[in-house]
């Protein structure tokens, strides 16, 4: 194994946008680094202020906390993205000369949450924008969701239809004003306005009366569609069990958790445990929905409906991020459900006329406005794991900020996979990553995907010279790539996962990539999903994989854990399975049971898979937790959430490149009667031990954990701990999701490496 530095040295990289140039920010960073004995550099670049500091973990944590808290008085941090990387071996700290490279690429900022100064004015009766729902300034407000073309000037935004009044124009033209060149600048005299519509689109109220009427309707238990920054939300009183259940029924959303919008950080703390890092994430200008551990045990049952996140110990919470949200939530004073305004599996609605039709029968009334939305942008989802931020859905507040991709010299387009769609283009050594586009299951989603794929290149004036897609021939994204008439590069799904994680950390290899997910097209034509890929500067080899098993019914297994369980047992027992007396038998009718037996015996409609996600499903089904899932991953989530105590790992076997879970499943079956929480612990620990065992066999120090299975917090934490204890250096995702939302970046990274 290659030598690993034993020092606890780490590197923190931060990219900061905002009014941080020319206000003493770089000297401030220098002094702070010096005081904390950190090495590194800070530089002004076309992408904003970029800094890297390295040193002891504790000093870096202090630096991170003080970077925003103690910034110079006139510095305004609009947006900050931080990543934790391996130390680079810097000596001393320097202010680097401004970097001219990359200056050609214009930066499109994401939509930024309302800043503190605008918030104060919003609630100041003496201010001319008192209670004006579109107040913004150069430090905050919509960006990506209103930009139609570059350069970012008002005529190129959806604000072009709102000529500024003299007062707004004076602010816009005054370099000393907070609204100097604030493209969405507006006021009640000249800017967009809100209206309150009934379900047929009849106008019932306008302006402030509209906002107050909407708040009153939510208080009365109605479901209100609210046009936000990147699309519609459906809002309902989170305390009102009846309203929440009505919303579930109308939306056709049976089990997936609903997001909450809490009126304040203090209100969020009443619902959830909030660490200092989590508080910073909630209050950041990206204002993502943050997954927080619920404190529901500790609060009165009436504070929130149990139907919001059934069986889930986490709540997705965000704070108000537009002036309109601030007005509504200040009026209400309690948390509301804030779920995306769509029918299940369709993209979020962005246009009020379209919303009337698509949300017909779901929303009781509509709070709309006349500022058009140029592209739909969902709420982002993030969490703090292992002391670092991790983005699980990259959309509002993050898109389309780039990730550095030094090897990318010519424009390339990557179209991602099929689920959790996102596209990306490489321009001048940067990967511009689109917002989350949803699963490409419906015609609506596919249309949104095509618009985003074409629109991203247009926005940056980049004509892709090649397109990169998945190797799966039937993905809509693959067929789209083939239709463009460009050279097409097909990148294996799990290799793209691994490259995404490597790109985030600036790694070239060799890296052992542990890519575990539900399904991806394998190089041998079978369904992969439990992969150990050894990646380096040349490409990859499949170092190991989970033992394959058959999935009776193929894709149907994603929603029926009982099928995965049956496939796993068939691998153990063969045809004898069908004469055995098993509890799983009760999950099938007699006809189904015979059908399964035929499919498995003949290998018809029972494809082979190495999927770790389906192995999780099998374990959940065999532990008696769930035979049918309302959404992919539900059973695995329940298995994770029921885990109660530390318990010894189930055994497994390593046979050459095959990680054999047969001993694991046999032990799990023998454990019948043990509480599910114990079964879950033993199963999770076995999987972490498998990762360490393969890492030992391969003998590469760096191990990247990637793929949808690593949305599982416990699996990620346990694997990282076990790898570290065994002397390995684990990596996990921070800025792009471990799930298929990260695939487009990985595809670009794989292609850029070949350039």
Positions touching Fe ion (CB under 5 A) are 517, 740
Q: Where are the beta strands (DSSP E) in 182-231?
A: 194-198, 203-206, 224-227
The 3 state secondary structure assigned to 643-664 is CCCCCCCCCCEEECCEEECHHH
Minimum distance, C-beta of residue 720 to Fe ion, in the bound complex (Å): 20
Q: Which partner in Fe ion, Zn ion, none is near 165 (CB below 5 to 8 A by kind)?
A: Zn ion
Length, in residues, of the chain = 755
> Rounded to whole angstroms, how far apart are CA atoms 379 and 742?
16
Q: Does residue 229 bind Zn ion (CB under 5 A)?
A: no
Give how far Cα 502 sits from Cα of 496, 589, 715, 747, Å: 10, 47, 20, 12
Q: Could you tell me if 401 and 81 are in contact, meaning their C-beta atoms sit under 8 angstroms apart?
A: yes
What order do you get walking across the sheet with 314-318 strand by strand? 203-206, 194-198, 365-369, 224-227, 232-237, 336-340, 259-261, 314-318, 289-293, 381-385, 388-393
> Rounded to whole angstroms, how far apart are CA atoms 662 and 668?
10
CA neighbor of 398 nearest in space, from 411, 389, 406, 386:
389
Minimum distance, C-beta of residue 20 to Zn ion, in the bound complex (Å): 15
Interface residue with Zn ion among 17, 139, 280, 396 (CB under 5 A) is 139
Minimum distance, C-beta of residue 740 to Fe ion, in the bound complex (Å): 4
Q: Does residue 672 bind Zn ion (CB under 5 A)?
A: no
CA neighbor of 115 nearest in space, from 132, 139, 144, 79:
139
Minimum distance, C-beta of residue 456 to Fe ion, in the bound complex (Å): 21
Minimum distance, C-beta of residue 284 to Zn ion, in the bound complex (Å): 14
Q: Does residue 629 bind Zn ion (CB under 5 A)?
A: no
Site for Zn ion in 208-227 (CB under 5 A): none
Minimum distance, C-beta of residue 515 to Fe ion, in the bound complex (Å): 7
Which of 122, 512 has the CB closer to Zn ion? Answer: 122
Q: Specify the DSSP class assigned to residue 473.
A: T
Which of 187, 427 has the CB closer to Zn ion? Answer: 187
Site for Zn ion in 297-316 (CB under 5 A): none
Q: Which two tokens stand for residue 243?
A: 């309203």
Q: Which two tokens stand for residue 437?
A: 């586009």
Instruction: Report DSSP letters for 113-175, one per residue.
Output: PPPHHHHHHHT-TTSTTTT-TT--BTTBB--TTTB-SSS--GGGBTTTTSPPPHHHHHHHH-T
CA neighbor of 265 nearest in space, from 303, 319, 316, 304:
319
Q: Could you tell me if 648 and 681 are in contact, meaning their C-beta atoms sit under 8 angstroms apart?
A: no
Q: Which partner in Fe ion, Zn ion, none is near 498 (CB below 5 to 8 A by kind)?
A: none
Minimum distance, C-beta of residue 161 to Zn ion, in the bound complex (Å): 14
Which of 428, 740 has the CB closer to Fe ion? Answer: 740
Q: Which partner in Zn ion, Fe ion, none is near 403 (CB below 5 to 8 A by kind)?
A: none
Which of 274, 469 has the CB closer to Fe ion? Answer: 469
Site for Zn ion in 159-198 (CB under 5 A): 165, 168, 187, 189-190
Q: What are phi and psi of 433, to 5 degrees?
A: -105, 130
Minimum distance, C-beta of residue 186 to Zn ion, in the bound complex (Å): 6
Interface residue with Zn ion among 29, 137, 332, 468 (CB under 5 A) is 137
Which of 164, 291 has the CB closer to Zn ion? Answer: 164
Minimum distance, C-beta of residue 77 to Zn ion, in the bound complex (Å): 13
Which of 165, 216 has the CB closer to Zn ion? Answer: 165
Minimum distance, C-beta of residue 707 to Fe ion, in the bound complex (Å): 5
Size of residue set near Zn ion by CB under 5 A? 10
Task: Give the count of alpha carbons within 13 A of 330, CB side only.
Answer: 15
Q: Which partner in Fe ion, Zn ion, none is near 139 (CB below 5 to 8 A by kind)?
A: Zn ion
Which of 364, 517 has the CB closer to Fe ion? Answer: 517
Q: Does residue 448 bind Zn ion (CB under 5 A)?
A: no
Q: Which partner in Fe ion, Zn ion, none is near 199 (CB below 5 to 8 A by kind)?
A: none
- Residues in contact with 200: Cβ distance below 8 Å, sequence separation at least 6, in sequence order: 356
Q: Which partner in Fe ion, Zn ion, none is near 740 (CB below 5 to 8 A by kind)?
A: Fe ion
Minimum distance, C-beta of residue 739 to Fe ion, in the bound complex (Å): 6
Q: Which partner in Zn ion, Fe ion, none is near 13 (CB below 5 to 8 A by kind)?
A: none
CA 545 to chain CA centroid, nearest Å: 26
Which of 439, 517 has the CB closer to Fe ion? Answer: 517
> Rounded to whole angstroms, how far apart are CA atoms 54 and 11?
4
Q: Which partner in Fe ion, Zn ion, none is near 115 (CB below 5 to 8 A by kind)?
A: Zn ion
* Three-state secondary-structure class, residue 213: helix
Minimum distance, C-beta of residue 478 to Fe ion, in the bound complex (Å): 14
**Peptide bond connecting 606 to the previous residue in cis, omega within 30 degrees of 0:** no
Look-up: residue for tokens 């099998």?
A: 618
Look-up: residue for tokens 């004995």?
A: 37
Which of 139, 418 has the CB closer to Zn ion? Answer: 139
Which of 193, 626 has the CB closer to Zn ion? Answer: 193
Minimum distance, C-beta of residue 159 to Zn ion, in the bound complex (Å): 11
Q: Could you tell me if 623 and 668 are in contact, meaning their C-beta atoms sit under 8 angstroms apart?
A: yes
Look-up: residue for tokens 């100064």?
A: 117
The 3 state secondary structure assigned to 540-586 is EEEEEEECCEECCCHHHHHHCHHHHHHHHHHHHHHHHHHHCCCHHHH
Q: Which partner in Zn ion, Fe ion, none is near 187 (CB below 5 to 8 A by kind)?
A: Zn ion
User: What x/- string results for residues 406 through 435 when contact with Zn ion is judged by CB under 5 A?
Assistant: ------------------------------
Q: Which residues pair with 463 in a beta bridge?
A: none
Q: Does residue 118 bind Zn ion (CB under 5 A)?
A: yes
Interface residue with Zn ion among 140, 194, 597, 686 (CB under 5 A) is 140
Which of 667, 744 has the CB closer to Fe ion? Answer: 744
Which of 320, 737 has the CB closer to Zn ion? Answer: 320
Which of 62, 283 has the CB closer to Zn ion? Answer: 283
> Rounded to whole angstroms, how far apart are CA atoms 65 and 58?
11
Give how far Cα 470 sits from Cα of 281, 416, 638, 671, 745, Å: 33, 7, 30, 40, 12
Site for Zn ion in 508-537 (CB under 5 A): none
Which of 417, 635 has the CB closer to Fe ion? Answer: 417
Q: Which partner in Fe ion, Zn ion, none is near 517 (CB below 5 to 8 A by kind)?
A: Fe ion
CA neighbor of 75 nearest in space, from 29, 20, 117:
20
Q: Which partner in Zn ion, Fe ion, none is near 686 (CB below 5 to 8 A by kind)?
A: none
Q: Which partner in Fe ion, Zn ion, none is near 454 (CB below 5 to 8 A by kind)?
A: none
Nearest residue to Fe ion by CB is: 517
Q: Does residue 77 bind Zn ion (CB under 5 A)?
A: no
Which of 53, 168 has the CB closer to Zn ion? Answer: 168
Site for Zn ion in 96-115 (CB under 5 A): 115
Q: Which two tokens stand for residue 167?
A: 């007062």
Minimum distance, C-beta of residue 16 to Zn ion, in the bound complex (Å): 17
Task: Taking the CA atoms of 84, 90, 95 and 101 in sequence, report the sign of the dihedral they define.
Answer: negative
Range in contact with Zn ion (rule: CB under 5 A) among 19-27, 158-166, 294-302, 344-352: 158-166
Which of 139, 472 has the CB closer to Zn ion? Answer: 139
Which of 517, 560 has the CB closer to Fe ion? Answer: 517
Minimum distance, C-beta of residue 321 to Zn ion, in the bound complex (Å): 12
The residues of the shown chain that bind Zn ion, judged by CB under 5 A, are 115, 118, 137, 139-140, 165, 168, 187, 189-190
């Amino acid at each position: 194994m290659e030598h690993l530095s034993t020092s606890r040295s780490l590197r923190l990289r931060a990219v900061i946008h905002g009014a941080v140039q020319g206000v003493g920010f770089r000297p401030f960073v220098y002094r702070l680094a010096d005081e904390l004995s950190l090495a590194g550099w800070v530089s002004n670049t076309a992408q904003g202020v970029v800094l890297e500091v390295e040193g002891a973990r504790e000093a870096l944590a202090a630096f991170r906390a003080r970077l925003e808290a103690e910034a110079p008085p006139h510095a305004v941090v609009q947006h900050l993205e931080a990543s934790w990387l391996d130390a680079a071996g810097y000596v001393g700290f320097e202010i680097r000369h401004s970097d001219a490279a990359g200056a050609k690429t214009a930066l499109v900022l994401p939509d930024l949450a309302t800043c503190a100064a605008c918030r104060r004015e919003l609630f100041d009766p003496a201010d001319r924008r008192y209670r004006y729902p579109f107040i913004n300034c150069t430090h905050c407000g919509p960006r990506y969701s209103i930009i139609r073309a570059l350069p970012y000037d008002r005529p190129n935004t959806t604000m072009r239809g709102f000529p500024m009044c003299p007062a707004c124009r004076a602010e816009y033209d005054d370099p000393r004003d907070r609204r100097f060149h604030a493209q969405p600048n507006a006021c009640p005299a000249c800017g967009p306005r809100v209206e309150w519509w009934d379900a047929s689109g009849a106008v019932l109220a306008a302006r402030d009366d509209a906002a107050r009427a909407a708040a009153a309707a939510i208080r009365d238990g109605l479901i209100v569609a609210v046009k936000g920054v990147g699309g519609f939300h459906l809002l309902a009183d989170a305390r009102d069990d009846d309203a929440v259940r009505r919303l579930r029924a109308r939306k056709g959303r049976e089990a997936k958790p609903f997001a909450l919008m809490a009126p304040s950080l203090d209100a969020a703390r009443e619902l959830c445990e909030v660490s200092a890092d989590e508080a910073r994430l909630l209050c950041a200008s990206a204002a993502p929905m943050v997954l927080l551990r619920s404190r529901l045990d500790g609060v009165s049952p009436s504070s929130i409906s149990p139907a919001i996140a059934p069986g889930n110990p986490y709540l997705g919470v965000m704070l108000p991020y537009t002036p309109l949200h601030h007005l509504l939530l200040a009026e209400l004073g309690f948390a509301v459900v804030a779920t995306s305004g769509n029918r299940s599996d369709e993209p979020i609605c962005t246009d009020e006329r379209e919303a009337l039709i698509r949300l017909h029968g779901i929303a009781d009334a509509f709070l709309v406005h006349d500022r058009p939305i140029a592209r739909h942008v969902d709420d982002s989802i993030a969490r703090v794991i292992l002391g670092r931020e991790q983005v699980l859905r990259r959309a509002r507040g993050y898109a389309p900020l780039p990730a550095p991709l030094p090897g990318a010299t010519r424009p390339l387009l990557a179209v991602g996979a099929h689920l959790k769609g996102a596209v990306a283009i490489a321009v001048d050594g940067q990967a511009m990553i689109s917002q989350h586009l949803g699963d490409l299951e419906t015609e609506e989603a596919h249309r949104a995907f095509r618009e985003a794929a074409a629109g991203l290149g247009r926005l940056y004036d980049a004509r892709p010279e090649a397109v990169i897609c998945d190797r799966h021939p039937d993905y809509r994204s693959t067929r789209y790539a083939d239709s463009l008439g460009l050279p097409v590069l097909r990148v294996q799904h799990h290799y793209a996962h691994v490259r995404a994680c490597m790109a985030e950390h600036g790694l070239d290899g060799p890296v052992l990539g542990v890519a575990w997910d539900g399904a991806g097209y394998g190089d041998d034509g079978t369904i992969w999903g439990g992969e150990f890929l050894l990646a380096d500067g040349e490409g990859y080899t499949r170092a190991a994989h989970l033992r394959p098993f058959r999935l009776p019914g193929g894709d149907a297994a994603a929603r029926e854990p009982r099928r995965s369980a049956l496939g796993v047992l068939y691998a153990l027992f063969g045809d004898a399975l069908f004469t055995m007396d098993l509890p799983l038998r009760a999950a099938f009718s007699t006809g189904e049971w015979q059908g399964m037996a035929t499919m498995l015996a003949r290998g018809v409609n029972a494809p082979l898979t190495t999927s770790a996600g389906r192995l999780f499903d099998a374990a959940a089904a065999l532990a008696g937790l769930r035979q049918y899932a309302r959404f992919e991953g539900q059973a695995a989530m329940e298995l994770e959430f029921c885990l109660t105590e530390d318990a010894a790992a189930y055994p497994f076997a390593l046979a050459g490149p095959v990680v054999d879970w047969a001993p694991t499943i046999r032990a799990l079956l023998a454990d019948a009667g043990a509480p599910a929480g114990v079964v879950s612990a033993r199963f999770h620990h076995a999987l972490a031990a498998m990762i360490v065992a393969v890492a030992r066999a391969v003998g590469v120090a760096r191990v990247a954990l990637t793929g949808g299975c690593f949305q599982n917090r416990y699996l990620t934490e346990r694997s990282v701990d076990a790898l570290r204890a065994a002397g390995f250096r684990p990596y996990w995702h921070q800025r792009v999701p471990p799930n298929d939302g990260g695939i487009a970046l990985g595809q670009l990274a794989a292609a850029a490496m070949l350039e």
